[in-house]
Amino acid sequence: MKISAIIMAVVSLLFFVSTTMAQPSPEQLIGQFQKALMKELKQGLQQGPTQAIKVCQIKAPEIAAQLSTDQIAIGRSTTRLRNPDNQAPHWVAEILDGYQTGTPIKESQTVDLLNGKQGYIKPIYIRQPCLKCHGTTIAPDIAAALNEYYPNDQATGYKAGDFRGVFWVETQTN
Ligand code: HEC
């Protein structure tokens, strides 16, 4: 009797752990994405800013792909793109437009999408360390590297505290 109770407890604990591990929340996924990006950015910066840009270009899409599955898609977007591949999905673009024009209530939000999908969006703000590559005065070597990799870069001219864009997550809920 006692043993079966213990077995039940272990089994339900394992079940709990496996389901929570299999299904990280959108907020947790964004946390993982952000942490991985910052790690690559820091490591890249140790080898110099132009190296960091190269690392960003290769690693940012790789990390997003690693975190995505059949059920989950994750990305970053903005109305002022650096990499055109970061173009927002339709539902994200709509919210970004709203952020840009209407009352700027820029909070995380969950959005019901069609076909049993759910969207989640979290705003990104510019901080001091971001200005090196997104600010108003960009050092010549960084400007040259940006120009080489991103000839249509629109992601400079920001100040600390400016709204930069969003992390977005799309999950299949059924
Ligand atoms: C070393 C230069 C560098 C620094 C510092 C930097 N970024 Fe970027 N950022 C880039 C590059 C390069 C890309 C394009 C990455 C890609 O190809 O997906 C980018 C892309 C982005 C994007 C994706 C949207 C787009 O325009 O393509 C966001 C959002 C973003 N950066 C926000 C930030 C924030 C917030 C910070 C500060 C925490 C920051 N960046 C710091 C170089 C930098």
In this predicted model, what pLDDT tens digit does every residue of 123-138 receive, in sequence order? 999 999 999 999 999 9
CA 174/CA 133 separation, integer angstroms: 40
Question: Is the model's pLDDT at 106 over the cut of 90?
Answer: no
- What pLDDT shows up at residue 100? 75
3-state secondary structure the chain: CHHHHHHHHHHHHHHHHHHHHHCCCHHHHHHHHHHHHHHHHHHHHHCCHHHHHHHHHHHHHHHHHHHCCCCEEEEEECCCCCCHHHCCCHHHHHHHHHHHHCCCCCCCEEEECCCCEEEEEEEEECCHHHHHHHCCCCCHHHHHHHHHHCCCCCCCCCCCCCEEEEEEEEEECC
- What pLDDT shows up at residue 11? 77
Span from the CA of 60 to the centroid of ligand 1 (angstroms) = 9
- Ligand 1 atom with the shortest distance to the CA of 80: 26
Q: Is residue 9 part of a domain?
A: no
Q: Is residue 125 part of a domain?
A: yes
Q: Is residue 70 part of a domain?
A: yes
Q: What confidence tier does 12 reach under pLDDT thresholds 50, 70, 90?
A: confident
Q: Is residue 17 part of a domain?
A: no
In short, whether 76's Cβ falls inside 6 Å of ligand 1 is: yes
Question: Is the model's pLDDT at 152 over the cut of 80?
Answer: yes
Contact in structure between 124 and 32 (CB atoms under 8 Å): no
What is the rounded average pLDDT for all residues in the chain?
90
Q: Is residue 127 part of a domain?
A: yes
Contacts of 127 (CB under 8 A, 6+ apart): 160
Q: Is residue 14 part of a domain?
A: no
Q: Is residue 136 part of a domain?
A: yes
Percentage of residues in the chain having pLDDT higher than 90: 72
Q: Is residue 34 part of a domain?
A: yes
- What pLDDT shows up at residue 38? 94
Domain assignment of residue 67, given as a range: 25-172
In short, whether 53's Cβ falls inside 6 Å of ligand 1 is: yes
The mean pLDDT of 71-79, rounded to a whole number, is 95
If one counts the domains in the chain, the total is 1
Query: Is the entire prediction scored with pTM above 0.85?
Result: yes
Tens of pLDDT, residues 60-70: 999 999 999 99
